[in-house]
Amino acid sequence: MTLPGFPDAAPVAGLAGGILIGLAAATMLLGIGRIAGVSGIAARAFGITDSGLPKGSAWNFIVGLPLGALIVVLVTGGVEAQFAGFLPILIAGLIVGIGTRIGSGCTSGHGVCGVSRFSRRSVVATITFMATGIATVAVMNAIGWEVIQ
């Protein structure tokens, strides 16, 4: 199914994926009593912070991420994916790592878990990273820096 005016959009797959992500976060919340924030759980798994889930559980969550994606790849026969080159990926990773720790979360912790709870901090963080993400892509387009060929 397509969205009128947006031939490339995948609204049904997007909504279905979003519901799965919501169920994932609900499982973490109602089962374990914690926020499913990927940056925080990754920091815990790799020993960068001592707070959060028990380390073993943090690793289980992190290992589950590629496993879940693998299931979708196997069931659907492959997913479309175009990645940036290694240099932009390394620069981006470094900035994402610094920003998510200083800003206490990312798209999952703030964007999904926090926004759905009407957390003031998460709403502000989400508006902020959306705005700078939009500005970054706009500036890169304006100067002709095409990271994805």
* Binders in 9-48 for another protein, by CB under 8 A: 9-36, 38-39, 42-43, 46, 48
Should residue 77 be labelled a site residue for another protein when binding is judged by CB under 8 A?
no
* Smallest separation, CB 110 to another protein (Å): 7
* Smallest separation, CB 106 to another protein (Å): 5
Should residue 65 be labelled a site residue for another protein when binding is judged by CB under 8 A?
yes
* Smallest separation, CB 37 to another protein (Å): 9
How far is Cα 111 from Cα 117, in angstroms, rounded to an integer? 10
Task: Annotate 80-112 with b (16+ C-beta within 10 A) or e (fewer).
Answer: eeeeeeeeeeeeeeeeeeebbeebebbbbbbbb
Of 1, 107, 143, 144, the one binding another protein (CB under 8 A) is 107
Of 56, 77, 143, 144, the one binding another protein (CB under 8 A) is 56
How far is Cα 2 from Cα 90, in angstroms, rounded to an integer? 34
